[in-house]
């Protein structure tokens, strides 16, 4: 795989697939620019070499072609500020105006293309569409690990039209850090799996049972485990058809000598709202009409003690409904424990994208853990052992 450092971009127009799928508020302002900042080193290396950059990305999930809400034009000013230069914008990602602007680019200049997903062909992996995109540049750089698990036109198919296919810094760091976790984890190795559904995490949990010493389970999925073991969960989130699977996972963990740690208490609410009435109860004792929305103080202490003794930590998924400040206490406390393990115990900590990354960054801990992944689904699939089309496309 060719890397950014091994290639000289002088005089080249680099067509870079970046992941600028960032959250915007109602005023179209970016609320978390982690993904944009992550790609800056790749862009700057190309410009420093004397090349130019044509950036392509998707934003959101537009259903019917061009939509104001999902236009990448909203990113032009913030990107210009971060890069310290005036970023040009093409109001299409293919077509005459895009080609003219791309071919007129001078060394040191940056052009941002309009949202790729305004064309349905992007997600379909359409070869003709990929070829049209490829005509914009001389060399293809894939730095969008967050979409590497999709065989889309820009993330994978595009590669076949280039002799020079380059792995960007983000992509390289993501693969290197995932490999470190999978192949060279220092022990004790603790994985924290949170989030709403067992069905979303079943493959990664099964894979991790062969790797980890401790598996901490939090978030909405814990209530399915609790119910399967005969506990009362009120109106908490439940995957009723996954209860047998939950028991099977517990049995497999025991068989493999993995220590599974579940919540011992929950913070529950009488409505799905930040302002709901709250109470803390022992796990399996949530009354009728109430639902668990966070882990309780005893659980925080239990999980934190295990994390503080760990040497490798993988975290994917929040401990509760962290979007509500009153139910973000557990997630924030676990973030603090991961930071403490990293800084005081020398642990290697990988935060697995998506909600976990947002939680860690929002709490201001992004630079106090070892690595924050930009790809939630992509990281999980890579760790599950699946071939990622965006990675495979870079391999000669």
Sign of CA dihedral 57, 179, 49, 35: positive
- 213 and 195 in contact (C-beta within 8 Å)? no
Residue 369 DSSP label: S
What beta strand segments (E) does 270-354 contain?
Answer: 278-282, 285-286, 291-295, 312-316, 348-351
| 35 tagged catalytic | yes
Q: How far is CA 122 from the centre of its chain?
A: 20
Q: Which residues of 219-230 are buried (b: 16+ CB within 10 A; e: fewer)?
A: bbbbbbbbbbee
Active-site pick, 12, 17, 35, 235: 35
Active-site pick, 197, 278, 311, 340: 197
- 192 and 259 in contact (C-beta within 8 Å)? no
- 267 and 296 in contact (C-beta within 8 Å)? yes
Structure token digits, residue 293: 């929305």
- 325 and 269 in contact (C-beta within 8 Å)? no
Three-class DSSP category at 253: helix
Active-site pick, 220, 320, 354, 376: 354
Catalytic positions, written as ranges: 35, 197, 354, 377
């Amino acid at each position: 795989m060719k890397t950014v450092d091994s290639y000289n971009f002088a005089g080249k127009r680099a067509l870079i697939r970046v992941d600028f799928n960032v959250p915007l508020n109602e005023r179209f302002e970016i609320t978390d620019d982690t993904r944009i900042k992550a790609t800056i080193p790749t862009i700057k290396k190309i410009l420093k070499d004397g090349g130019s950059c044509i950036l392509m990305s998707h934003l959101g999930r537009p259903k019917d072609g061009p939509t104001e809400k999902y236009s990448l034009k909203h990113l032009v000013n913030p990107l210009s500020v971060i890069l310290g230069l005036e970023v040009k914008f093409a109001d299409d990602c293919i077509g005459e105006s895009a080609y003219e602007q791309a071919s007129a680019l001078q060394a040191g200049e940056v052009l941002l293309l309009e949202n790729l997903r305004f064309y349905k062909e992007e997600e379909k992996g359409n070869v003709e569409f990929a070829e049209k995109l490829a005509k914009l540049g001389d060399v293809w750089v894939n730095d969008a690990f967050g979409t590497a698990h999709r065989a889309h036109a820009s993330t994978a198919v595009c590669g076949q039209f280039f002799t020079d296919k380059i792995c960007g810094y983000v992509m390289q760091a993501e693969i290197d850090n995932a490999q470190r976790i999978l192949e060279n984890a220092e022990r004790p190795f603790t994985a924290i799996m949170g989030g709403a559904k067992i069905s979303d995490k079943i493959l990664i949990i099964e894979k991790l049972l062969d790797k980890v010493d401790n598996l901490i389970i939090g978030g909405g999925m814990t209530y399915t485990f609790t119910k399967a073991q005969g506990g009362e969960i009120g109106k908490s989130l439940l995957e009723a058809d996954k209860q047998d699977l939950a028991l099977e996972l517990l049995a497999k963990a025991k068989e493999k000598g993995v220590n599974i740690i579940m919540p011992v208490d929950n913070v529950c609410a009488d409505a799905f709202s930040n302002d709901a009435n709250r109470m803390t109860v022992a796990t399996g004792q949530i009354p009728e009409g109430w639902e668990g929305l966070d882990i309780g103080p005893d659980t925080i202490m239990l999980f934190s003690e295990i994390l503080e003794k760990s040497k490798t930590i993988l975290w994917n998924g929040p401990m509760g409904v962290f979007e509500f400040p009153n139910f973000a206490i557990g997630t924030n406390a676990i973030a603090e424990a991961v930071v403490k393990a990293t800084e005081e115990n020398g642990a290697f900590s990988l935060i697995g994208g998506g909600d976990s990354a947002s939680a860690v960054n929002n709490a201001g801990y992004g630079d106090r853990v070892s690595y924050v992944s930009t790809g939630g689904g992509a990281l999980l699939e890579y760790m599950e052992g699946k071939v990622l089309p965006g990675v495979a496309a870079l391999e000669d």
